Structure formats: C-alpha cells, structure tokens
Amino acid sequence: MRQRSERGWNSGESPGPNRRPYSLGARRVGAAALAVVLVLLSIGGAQAGVAVRSVGAGPLPAASPLVDNLSVNATSLLSFVPNQLTVYPGALVHLVVIQLANFAHTFVLSPVANVTIPTNDTPTQLYAFFNLHPPLVNLSLPATVGARVYANFTAPPVGSYEFVCEIPGHFQGGMYGELVSTTSSSGGSSSSPLLLEIGVGVIVVIAAALVAAALLRRRARRTNGAPPGSGPNP
C-alpha cells in the first residue's frame, strides 16, 4: 500500500504526469498569492507615503502626511474661480493661482479663522487688516494672461479663512473667496482613493488564491484515489 511522504510517494513509484503531489501545487499557489499581496502592499505603502485626500474619505490618521492640491483662476470679471476651497488641517497645501485677466491681481489669504472682512472696507482698511494679521499666502499676479504663481503652506486649524484681491476696487467688486479647513468627510480635493483600491485588490488576490487552492485540493484527492495503473496510456 502506498503512503505519501514529504518527498512524494514511498512506494518507489514516482507520480505520473497527471498525479502531481498536491503539496507542491498548493505551495506554488500560496507563494504566488503572497508575492502578489506583498507587491500590492509595497505599492500602497509607497503611494501612501504622501497620501492625497479624496472626496468622502474622511479624516486620515495624524501620522499620514497629507497633501491638498489647489488651483484657482483669477478672472477679468473680478472673481476667483472657484471661490471656495477645502483643505485638511495640517495638510501640506500646494496652491497655484492662474491669471486669466490682462491686468494685475493679488491672492491674499487671511490667517484669522471665521472672520469675514466687510466688503465696504476701503482699500486702506483692507491693507490695515493684513498689516495687523500677516497673511498665510500673499501672491501677486502679473498682468499677463496665463501667468501662474505658486505657494506652499500648511493648512490652518479647523475654520473658515477668507482670501481676497487687494488691488483697489477688486475686493469691493466681489473678488474674494473662502478656504475651509475641515475634518468633515464631505469635503476635500479630488483624487483616486488609492488605499481603498489597494485594499480591494488584496482581497481579490486572496480570494482567488483560496479558490485555486480548493480546486487543486479537489484534483489531488481524485488523483490520489486512482489505482496505480490508471494513468493515461502513452
């Protein structure tokens, strides 16, 4: 009677081409699944080193460095588009302001939370406010259509922060907006939910490995139950 050992079959008869030991196939499937999972996790770890917050993602762990990428247009209609931006407190913010007008603009971000500057303030009063409260961002856009100016800053604590154009008459004409710093899951800059996709990928790989292992186990049982001379004829 044949008995199976770690090295194969101790009866002296090597398994035929259709009677491969299950342990070898299962090990290969398991190793392949593990390799794929490790690759996915390594990719996820590399991408999560700088996590980009996505819409509806909610707050991420404080240990994860966050990046918010913002883009604003300064128009000839004395407006910022969009005029509302959302960031995560403490995130590294990369801001680009694009000039769409052929005359100068500024982008000045207030550091004072939940304070709205009255639109009937004169240019002198507006300058005095920012002299008293140094802005988080202070950019000047040249009078060149398509010009871009950039700023990097750390998102402030939770609250609403107004940004304005300081050119006389522009703020009073409606050129202002709001930056909201929030941990709410309803806000955030758009991007691919990388961590969620990686997690789903890992689950799919593990499920596929389990199905493959079950099929190999069933095939191995059928092969083990066959009589010694039942293999295919040459």
Which of residues 199 and 62 earns the better pLDDT score?
199
The predicted model gives 37-63 an average pLDDT of 44
Residue-wise pLDDT tens digits, 165-177: 999 999 999 999 9
Q: How many residues does the chain have?
A: 234
Distance CA 92, CA 52 (A): 10
Poorest-pLDDT segment among 21-25, 30-34, 116-120, 163-167: 21-25
Q: Which residue has the higher pLDDT, 77 or 221?
A: 77
Name every residue whose Cβ is closer than 8 Å to that of residue 102 and which is 6 or more positions away in sequence: 76, 143, 144, 145
Instruction: Read off the pLDDT of each residue in 174-203 and give the average, rounded to a whole number.
Output: 66
CA quadruple 177, 72, 94, 65: dihedral positive or negative?
Answer: positive
Tell me: the pLDDT tens digits for 133-182?
A: 999 999 999 999 999 999 999 999 999 999 999 999 999 999 999 999 99
Average per-residue pLDDT in the chain?
75
Q: Which residue has the higher pLDDT, 207 or 21?
A: 207
Token look-up 């005095």 returns: 128
Is 50 exceeded by the pLDDT of residue 58?
no
Provide, rounded to the nearest whole percent, the portion of the chain with pLDDT above 70. Answer: 59
- Indicate the Cα dihedral angle 176, 153, 66, 75, nearest 10°: 30
Q: Give the pLDDT of residue 123.
A: 95
Can you give the pLDDT at residue 87? Answer: 95
pLDDT at 224: 66
In whole angstroms, what is the distance from residue 23 CA to residue 15 CA? 13
Q: Percentage of the chain surpassing pLDDT 90?
A: 49
Question: Residue range 28-53: average pLDDT?
Answer: 50
Q: State yes or no: pLDDT of 69 exceeds 70.
A: yes
User: How sure is the predictor about 213, in pLDDT bands with cuts at 50, 70 and 90?
Assistant: confident
What value does the mean pLDDT take over residues 56-82? 76
Q: Answer with the residue of higher pLDDT: 180 or 223.
A: 180
Condensed to tens digits (0 to 9), the pLDDT of residues 79-90 reads: 999 999 999 999
The answer to whether residue 226 scores a pLDDT higher than 70 is no
pLDDT at 165: 97
Of residues 65 and 6, which shows the higher confidence score?
A: 65
